[in-house]
Structure 1
Amino acid sequence: MREPTVASLMTREVIAADVGSSFKDLVRLLEDNKISAVPVLDGGHPVGVVSEADLVPKEEFRGGTEDAPGVFAGRVTKHRWEQAGGVTARDVMTSPVKTITSDLAASAAARELAAAGVRRLFVVDSDGALVGVLSRRDLLKLFLREDDELRTTIRDEIFGRTLWVDPATVTVDVSAGVVTLDGRLERRSEVDIAEHLVRALPGVVDVHSQLRCGWNDTTHPRQTEIFG
């Protein structure tokens, strides 16, 4: 089964700013659209991002009129002071910006989000031009799949087409994304594979397995002689 990709989850209409956008226009862009950050584009290519945190230093340091941080101040504090004197997106943006491509698997995108510690990733094409944005909320939409849809996919795709198991021999119940499996398969390896595939299915919250097997093909015969 193919995993959903970024292309199927991302938001394609992206509100963005230009590197030359004024400070006031940036504030208005965030306020009017009720968003917390925008990508900054240069010729259609994302070169940075401006968030509310990048704009607040203007007030924190009173537009740069406060004394510059001392020599022992941290790098982050010095950067905020520099942002306070900025007048365009280029001056205040945080860069470089983290980007991904639309063919990336959803699970890989989730790992990228976690590793980067950001709320969103900007999606670019092969030329590096912005084509969308993927947020944490976009990924969470996977868990809104209907229980009946999950049940059908598990029964027909996993047991029927992937494992070649008669779906009638297995009971699949799904409630609020939690899957309960019951029934008897021929081999222990089939039980293990089935449980793994169901748990990895996008939209599944948890799996309770009561599957049984006719014989354990995962145990070496010699082990059975010694320990059996």
Structure 2
Amino acid sequence: MTRTVGEVMTREVVQARPETSFKDVARLLDRHHVSGLPVVDHDDKVLGVISGTDLVRHQAAHHAGGRARRLRGSVLRRSARRTTAAAGATTAGELMSSPAITVHPEQRVPDAARVMARHRIGRLPVVDEEDRLIGIATRRDLLQVFLRTDEEIRRDVADGVLAPAMGPAPHPVAVSVRDGLVRLTGQVERRSDIPRAVRLAWRVDGVVGVVNDLTFRLDDGGLSEQPLPDRPALS
């Protein structure tokens, strides 16, 4: 029941071309209330990403370049030339961060969240198999998965994964959820069914923890505890 990036991404994407001017990029960010956008070529292939932070750095470099040109000394002149080059960038293609970090629509939402956390970014262009832009996944899009109601989570755990996977039982597993914390109670047929049930519960979007209160009827030597998958932290 884990959703994919393609299911939560935003399909209408505000984008820029490499030749889009600094001022036009600023207007796009302001008009659409976004903090960044992908830069694509005329074949819709993603070349990079430009953000409000990139624009601020450009302005800072521009003012620093003006001060640096007034300084003397060969070392300072070399530094000034580097700063002036950055200040001279006036298009999205010159200011963007490249290459862009992208994801594919079939990737799982938790995996995309890990990519965001690892690279400390707030958006991921979503591309098809030919690297053409088809959407964008923002931190807000991914957070929707982790802000589901307890009843939605309980229904998915009980009816969506446990019932189909474990089949009918004389004493079915009871599932309760509070603030995303899942509690499993009841008796399963075999000891090895317990870690399986716990793993299945963890696979459901929105689950932040699983409390295992299950007992078993037959001891088939299965382990009662196994490592649980890590859940990404969105920031």
**Which category describes the TM-score, using the shorter chain as reference length?**
0.7 to 0.9
Using structure 2 for the length normalisation, give the TM-score.
Answer: 0.81
Distance 1:180 1:25, change over 3 A: same
Which residue pairs with 1:22 in the alignment? 21
Give TM-score scaled by structure 1 length. 0.83
C-alpha deviation, 1:141, in angstroms: 1.0
1:110-154, CA deviations, whole angstroms, 9 ceiling, x for partnerless residues? 232233332211111122211001122222211232322222222
- Counterpart position of 2:227: none
Secondary structure, in 3 states, of the residue corresponding to 1:145? coil
Which ranges in structure 2 are unaligned for 5 or more consecutive residues? Answer: 224-235
Mapped partners of 1:167, 1:109: distance in 2 = 39
Equivalent runs, 1:185-204 vs 2, <5 Å: 185-204=188-207
Note the aligned Cα RMSD (angstroms): 2.7
Deviation at 1:213, TM superposition (A): 1.2
Residue of 163, 168, 177 corresponding to 1:160? 163
- Give how far 1:54 is off: 1.1
Q: In the aligned structure 2, how far is the partner of 1:162 from the partner of 1:103?
A: 23
Residue 104 (structure 1) aligns with: 107
1:50 alignment partner AA: I
The one-letter code sitting in structure 2 at the alignment partner of 1:127 is E
Distance 1:167 1:125, change over 3 A: farther
**Which segments of 5 or more consecutive residues in structure 1 lack a partner in the other structure?**
221-228
Correspondence list, 1:19-58, <5 A:
19-43=18-42, 44-58=44-58
In structure 2, what residue type is equivalent to 1:151? R
Residue 165 of structure 1 deviates from its aligned partner by 4.0
1-structure distance, mates of 2:83, 2:5? 33
Residue in 1 aligned with 2:232? Answer: none
TM-fit CA distance, 1:89: 0.9
- The 1:58–1:210 alpha-carbon spacing in structure 2 relative to 1, beyond 3 Å, is same
Structural mapping, 1:53-68, within 5 Å: 53-62=53-62, 64-67=65-68
Q: Output the CA distance in 1 between the equivalents of 2:215 and 2:101.
A: 46
1:102 is displaced (CA, Å) by 1.0
| Structure 1 stretch displaced more, 59-68 or 87-96 | 59-68
In 2, Cα distance between the equivalents of 1:193 and 1:12? 36
Inter-partner Cα distance in structure 1 for 2:82 and 2:149: 47
Task: For 2:152 and 2:170, locate their aligned partners in 1 and report how far apart those are by CA, in whole Å.
Answer: 15
Secondary structure of 2:192's counterpart equals helix
CA distance in 2, matches of 1:61, 1:147: 49
Shift in Å at residue 96 of structure 1?
0.8
Structure number with higher relative contact order (C-alpha < 8 Å, ≥ 6 residues apart): 2
What whole-Å deviation, never above 9, does each CA across 1:67-119 have from its counterpart, x for those lacking one? 279869xx9x9977533211111121111111121112223222322333322
Match of 1:150 in 2: 153
| Counterpart pick for 2:213 among 210, 213, 216 | 210
SS of equivalent to 2:68: coil
Which protein is richer in strand relative to its size? 1
- Deviation (angstroms), 1:41: 1.3
User: Percent identity over the alignment?
Assistant: 36
Runs of 4+ in 1 over 4 A off after TM superposition: 68-72, 77-81
Structure 2 CA distance, aligned partners of 1:79 and 1:98?
Answer: 26
Paired residue total: 216
Are the equivalent residues in 1 in contact too, given 2:62–2:86 (CA < 8 A)?
A: no
